[in-house]
Amino acid sequence: MKKYIILVLIFTFYGSIYSQEKENLFSLEINDLSIEEALKKLENTSQYTFYFSIKWFNNGKVSGTYTDEKLTTILEDIFKNTDLNYFIDKTNVYVLQNRIVYNELPKSFSAPINDTASIKEKKTNTITPVFYNKKNSDLDNSFIETVRIGKSNLNNLRSKYILTGYIKQLSSNLPIPNVTVYVKNRNVGVSTNTNGYYKLELPKGENLIEVSSIGVKKQVKRVLMFNDGQLNFNLFEDVEELDEIVLDGEQDENIEEALMGTSEIDSEESKNIPLVLGERNILKVAATLPGITTAGEGATGFNVRGGKTDQNLILLDDAVIYNPSHFFGIFQALNPFTTKSLKVYKGSIPSEFGGRLSSVFDIKSKEGSVDKFKGEASIGPITNNIALEVPVIKSKSSIMVGGRSTYSDWVLKSLDDDDLKKVRQIFMI
């Protein structure tokens, strides 16, 4: 009888154990559902309550058929393409981002202090959790965005992880080459290649990454490394607008005309030049300029830069003068007291003059005084000149009258026959 009682107790004990194991196995089918929908379906199937944040989920879909599978197996399959972890506590399941919860200390944690081998094993065979407190961070940049990369794994004992990614311009979506990716708290950095790709080896935990280049705005992010992962940057174009710049040059302030081969002679300045037969001759002064020569002794006209005398245009207040001098060039036809200036164009002749092969002599007369009466007069060995400036309406208009004459005929009549022969020989008459 006792044997039967013992057998009944044994079957009852194993039956309860088997039923408990069956209770921890779940069967369900997931067909192209979001992670949120899959967790809610698993929650309705099991006795567990799930706690999570929807913003951690990506837009991907999950699918799977599970028959008598453990809860951990189903969760691992759902989270395999994400950076999500989980922690099961009695009838609650907590979904975590990146990190994991340690519910026990590693075996080597309690090793004796003098046990060098145990300490070495503790360092090499244990996982160091990633701790980060925003308030106590050594990097005092509270406004910087924090990004978590990868998810912790109890089987991963590495101390460094690989961070990769692409850097593009936000407006054009084109890769940016030669961008500096610098880890400020590690003093290491790399540059992107022609495709905008970079690769960094970073220690686990907190890293402050600064991305900068010419023409784009600098971007800084706090990166928490839990495992290998990817981080892409989209940079804004950095356009710096400057205020309007006005360049006001004065190099042309003293330039009235940009004409080449032009010379100007002022009548008043010609007073300092030695007089010819006692009077000023502005045309004789012009013959001293470079490129201008007289036609010869006892001849009228000018040769400008090798041109002939008939290739010159001589104007007096825009009126053509055909014979500016008389008696073989000895006497000029211009009154020196009424002449203001002479402008000689030896090249680049303005179109207003109609064009000449050699030159243009532009002679301008004085303007009469409108304030008071003025006058000048001169008596020379062979000529005399007079000029009068008479105001008609004060400060408005005036009249200028000039006269010029020669008494060369009286001088010649006073000479005897021998003197006339000498004059004829001089001028070859």
Q: Are 359 and 346 in contact (CB under 8 A)?
A: yes
Q: Name the least confident of 143-152, 403-412, 416-425.
A: 416-425
What proportion of the chain, given as a percentage, has pLDDT over 70? 72
pLDDT in tens, 295-321: 666 566 788 888 888 888 888 888 888
Q: Domains (ranges, CATH) in the chain?
A: 2-97 (3.55.50.30), 145-235 (2.60.40.1120), 262-422 (2.170.130.10)
pLDDT in tens, 258-272: 667 788 888 777 766
236 φψ region: left (φ > 0), alpha (ψ -120 to 50), beta (else): beta
Q: Are 136 and 129 in contact (CB under 8 A)?
A: no
Q: Are 79 and 71 in contact (CB under 8 A)?
A: no
Tell me the whole-structure pTM to 2 decimals: 0.44
1 vs 387, higher pLDDT: 387
C-alpha span between 29 and 38 (Å, rounded): 9
354 vs 413, higher pLDDT: 354
Contacts of 255 by beta carbon, 8 Å cutoff, 6+ apart:
none
